[in-house]
């Protein structure tokens, strides 16, 4: 009895279980939300805005450093900001 049952179980797992599992996750993958063109444009705009703000901050820091030789700009690791801690 065991000699017949084992091959049937193995064939069932190979031809029914594996395809079902693969198709299940393919369907989940296709249903997952995708980034739209509008979202991509918004991300590009935010990236450009962040770069411009960083350049402005560096300019302000250079001006302050020129006026005050003891000035040291704060780096993100030195700032106590809970939003920065969420990156990790």
Q: What is the pLDDT of residue 77?
A: 56
Under 8 Å between Cβ of 71 and 64: yes
**Range with the poorest average pLDDT among 10-14, 23-27, 83-87:** 83-87
DSSP state of 79: S
CA distance 13 to 9: 6
Cα–Cα distance measured from residue 28 to residue 44, given in angstroms and rounded to the nearest whole number? 28
* pLDDT score recorded for residue 88: 44
pLDDT interval class at 23 (50, 70, 90): very high
Going by C-beta distance under 8 Å and a sequence separation of 6 or more, which residues neighbour residue 52? none
Q: pTM of the predicted model, to two decimals? A: 0.50
List the domain boundaries for the chain: 7-69
pLDDT at position 43, please?
A: 95
pLDDT per position as a tens digit, 31-86? 888 888 999 999 999 999 999 999 999 999 899 989 988 888 776 655 555 555 55
């Amino acid at each position: 009895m065991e000699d017949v049952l084992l091959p049937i179980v193995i064939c069932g797992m190979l031809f029914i279980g594996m395809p079902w599992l693969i198709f299940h996750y393919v369907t989940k993958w296709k249903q997952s939300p995708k980034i739209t063109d509008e979202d991509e444009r918004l991300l590009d705009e935010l990236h450009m805005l962040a770069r411009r703000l960083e350049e402005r901050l560096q300019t302000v820091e250079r001006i302050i450093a020129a006026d005050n030789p003891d000035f040291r700009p704060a780096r993100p690791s030195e700032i106590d900001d809970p939003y920065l801690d969420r990156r990790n």
